[in-house]
Chain A
């Protein structure tokens, strides 16, 4: 595979030097990578915030569908204008992305086909159409489809000022709208029926949310590519859900996780030592991998929903049950009742009759 999509920078070879360079990149002190770092960070924030709402609304994979459905729009815009002017291509992308969303909504409302099937059909058919148009575009539309391949696989490293602007504007619009309509979106995500009884325009809000998903997906497409942009919508949201219990905090955490993944991913792909014979660390996948690592760590460490916390809770419960049994009057008479408890590492001190009243669960009780 060609070493596409990387910001590999020739730099110092010592570990300390690399860390220093990495920090300089991440802190925007490196002029060559500043645009890429900023763009990736903003994209992460935008997708994190909007994606949180999508995930809560049980539409986690809508971003995946929109990203695939954007391809025919990009190709059409390319064929019609013959140019690679990014905003035009993005408008085309958003147009067919929205069309796919409308298709899903129509199927959900008017047929008995389930939403997951509708998403899959829209994804595959639109993308298939995109592939057909792509081959036509490369044959009849001027030959140069390099600008279109970008939309398939993403080239974060090739980000220029214009791309960063597009991402910045969509981030501001997305986060601003979510902040303004936080209360309404909360109603939409958590209790749709109640919100509609309250007289809120639930379907308009739903459409707005889907459009926001569309905009963030399309804005991230040139940087992350078809498959990975949907990761930015889902992973930060899921990570944030592990840490925060309120919607406001969840959005903040998701934005932070998304932004950090973008920045760290670009930094890592630029400064990780490259193995022999290899091209470079691809930037888009490194961003996704950073987000994935953040999720993995959160899964372990999160205070309430994390695995360690769950283990600790289970242990505490087991201790309580064991203590209860120890104090139970009848347990002592059951042969072998102690063996299991000592196995758990419980200090075996039979408190005789200290809590005679507590019968306990009574597993050993005849």
Chain B
């Protein structure tokens, strides 16, 4: 098997012919129109309606041809749009009448419509070039061959309706920004505020259907699905703001179209398919690396929290160990040896976390490590340890007094809570339990010192 040669280079862009530029522009306009319109679907959690509509246009095309007898683009557009609206309406009706889950109703409607479409088209003359494969693939590579003269330039014919839809979609989002957001996130709230949620919903579905229908002829249903869903989902991973979601969605869609076109041109592969792949890759990258919602960022946050808790646990452990040593010293009995790092690691249970935490404590000047492996808290470390233990014992006192927990149930609960009680809450707890000197087990509660003692 011979692999295709990669010939992509920055210089290549200079060698693009006018037709290539038109193809690229069509892809970008189509991607942005779908990407922005699809935000409503994704936010409303109806993503797969786009999939359904883009497949269900097939019978619409057949019916339009049978009624008008021509392959006139306007007739095709009307037929496809009718089929798109019918998909949304029929599936909503089916789910209400038959009490069927929405996704199942959607699956029923669009597959039956698609089957009807295949049957219809199989009875049409075969030289019509209208079949299931044209719906799946589209023909982005050939849009530049069928041109129309607009404003003095020969633009691809499909670019005209695509541009119109893009303008309408962008206008709708800009004009109805606030209302759209409320309807998408909380339709019930929208209705109670007097916003016509039903009308807006229907209008947005019509816009999505329009974007789908004008796009699929150029790029095929697969790319339409990818562009309706992926850019918005990616944008949602990157930002929390609705305005940015729309903007980023458009940007991501445009960049997916550009990159996908370049790669496809280099490999001589289908452009629409490659753009979908790039959109999927964008999403996967964002899922891993997005600043606050990505898996990597969340793993780092979790690791940081785990380390902070382990550091506090170690300091608490050192403080308690010193308590035991001074008790034993007071009784003049057998001496308690100082803690070694290995003991701490064994007690924490997770060696790497423990080692990282010990290193962090050392770096912060909280502990001193002797060459023989023993560790001692510094003055600052002792104060922090005292703070952790104080919170712990205060919380035990609180639980025993106000919740009536038995003595042997106090430790585990307090062991979790001690890391999440800030100073002001601690003062409140202290007041609630009457500023005790000892916890329910009878151990002394270390006195609060002036100044900050936490580890943060």
B280 touches A113 (CB 8 A): no
Q: Is B188 part of the binding interface, using a Cβ–Cβ cutoff of 8 Å?
A: no
Does residue A26 face the partner (Cβ distance < 8 Å to B)? no
Contacts of B223 in A (CB 8 A): 124, 128
B111 adjacent to A231 (CB under 8 Å): yes
Residue contact B280 to A64, C-beta cutoff 8 Å = no
- Give the chain A neighbours of B114 by CB distance below 8 A: 227-228, 231, 285, 288
Give chain B residues whose Cβ lies under 8 Å from the Cβ of A91: none
Q: Is A119 at the interface (CB under 8 A from chain B)?
A: yes
Q: Given A231-B107, A234-B108, do A131 and B123 touch, yes or no (CB 8 Å)?
A: no
Tell me which residues from 206 to 234 in chain B have a Cβ below 8 Å from any Cβ of chain A: 222-223, 225-226, 228-230, 232-233
CB pair B116 A295 closer than 8 Å: no
Cβ contact of A120, chosen from B47, B124, B272, cutoff 8 A: B47
Spot the interface stretch: B1-9, B150-158, B192-200, B358-366: B1-9
CA distance A118 to B236 in the complex (A): 12
Q: Is the CB of B225 within 8 A of A124?
A: yes
B249 interface contact, C-beta 8 A: no
Shortest distance between the CB of A304 and any CB in chain B (Å) = 10
Interface of B, secondary structure class, is helix
Mark interface residues in B103-116 (1 if CB within 8 Å of A CB, else 0): 11111100110111
Q: Cβ of B126 and Cβ of A61 under 8 Å apart? A: no
The answer to whether B253 has its CB under 8 Å from any CB of chain A is: no
Q: Which residue of B lies closest to A279 (CB)?
A: B122
- Given contacts A120-B225, A120-B229, A231-B107, is CB(A288)–CB(B115) below 8 Å? yes
B55 at the interface (CB under 8 A from A): yes
Report which of A3, A60, A122, A152 forms a contact with B107, defined as CB distance below 8 A. Answer: A60
- Say whether B429 faces chain A, with CB atoms less than 8 Å apart: no
Please name all residues of chain B whose beta carbon is closer than 8 Å to the beta carbon of A153 when the two chains form the complex: 118, 132-133
User: Cα distance A116–B136 when bound, in Å?
Assistant: 21
Instruction: Give the Cβ gap from A289 to chain B, nearest Cβ, in Å.
Output: 5
Residue pair A285, B229 in contact (C-beta under 8 Å): no
Chain A residues whose CB sits within 8 angstroms of the CB of B232 once the complex forms: 117
Mask of B268-293 contacts with A, CB within 8 angstroms, 1/0:
11101111110111010001000001
Cross-chain contact B279 with A113 (CB below 8 angstroms)? no
Q: Is B45 an interface residue (CB 8 A)?
A: yes
In the complex where A60-B107, A132-B277, A307-B97 touch, is A124 in contact with B222 (Cβ < 8 A)? yes
A288 B98 Cβ-Cβ under 8 A: no
Tell whether A55 is near chain B: CB-to-CB under 8 Å. yes
Is A314 positioned at the interface, with any CB of B under 8 Å from its CB?
no
Partner of B112, one of A68, A231, A299, A307: A231
CA distance A120 to B224 in the complex (A): 11
Instruction: Give the most central of B119, B121, B130: most A CB within 10 Å.
Output: B119
Option from B2, B104, B295 in Cβ contact (under 8 Å) with A55:
B104
A279 to B94, CA, bound (A): 33
Could you tell me if A242 and B107 are in contact, using CB atoms closer than 8 angstroms? Answer: no
Judge whether B287 and A64 touch: CB under 8 Å: no
Could you say which of B46, B115, B130, B133 has the most chain A C-beta atoms within 10 Å of its C-beta? B115
Q: Within 8 Å of chain A (Cβ to Cβ): is B101?
A: yes
Dominant SS at the A interface?
helix
User: What residues of A have a CB within 8 angstroms of the CB of B272 in the complex?
Assistant: 128, 131
Q: Is A121 in contact with chain B by the CB < 8 A criterion?
A: yes
B-side contacts of A3, CB under 8 Å:
122
Q: Size class of B's contact patch?
A: 35 or more
Q: Which residues of B contact A275 (CB under 8 A)?
A: 123
B-side contacts of A241, CB under 8 Å? 100
* Chain B, Cβ-Cβ closest to A291: B112
Inter-chain CA distance A79–B3, complex, in Å, is: 11
**Contact call B50/A238, Cβ cutoff below 8 A:** no
Q: Is the CB of B226 within 8 A of A140?
A: no
The answer to whether B319 has its CB under 8 Å from any CB of chain A is no
CB-defined contacts of B103 to chain A, threshold 8 Å: 58-61, 116
Interface contact A286-B119, CB-CB below 8 Å: yes
Q: CB of A88 within 8 A of chain B?
A: no
Which residue of B is nearest A114, CB measured? B45
Per the bound structure, the CA–CA distance linking A285 and B280 in Å amounts to 30
- Which of B48, B228, B275 is close to A61, meaning CB atoms less than 8 Å apart? B48
Candidates B1, B126, B131, B137; contact of A131 at CB < 8 Å: B137
Tell me the complex Cα distance, A140–B268, Å.
Answer: 12
- Complex: how many Å from CA A110 to CA B283? 13
Residue A141 lies at the interface, judged by CB distance under 8 Å to chain B: yes
* A334 at the binding interface (Cβ < 8 Å): no
Which residues does chain B contribute within 8 Å of A111, judged by CB atoms?
A: 237, 287, 293-295
B333 within 8 A of A: no
A125 to B280, CA, bound (A): 5
Q: List 19 A-B contacts (CB under 8 A).
A: A3-B122, A55-B104, A60-B107, A61-B48, A61-B103, A68-B222, A111-B295, A114-B47, A120-B226, A124-B225, A124-B276, A128-B280, A129-B277, A131-B137, A132-B273, A140-B3, A230-B111, A285-B118, A310-B97
Q: List chain A positions with a Cβ less than 8 A from chain B.
A: 1-3, 55, 58-61, 63-64, 68, 79, 82, 107, 110-114, 116-132, 134-136, 139-141, 152-153, 226-228, 230-231, 233-235, 237-238, 241-242, 275, 277-282, 284-286, 288-289, 292, 295, 299, 305, 307, 310
Which 10 pairs from chain A and chain B are nearest by CB?
A125-B280, A128-B276, A131-B273, A231-B111, A124-B226, A285-B115, A1-B131, A234-B107, A120-B229, A288-B115
Known: A114-B47, A238-B108. 8 other contacts (CB 8 A): A113-B287, A125-B226, A128-B276, A131-B270, A136-B4, A231-B114, A282-B119, A310-B97
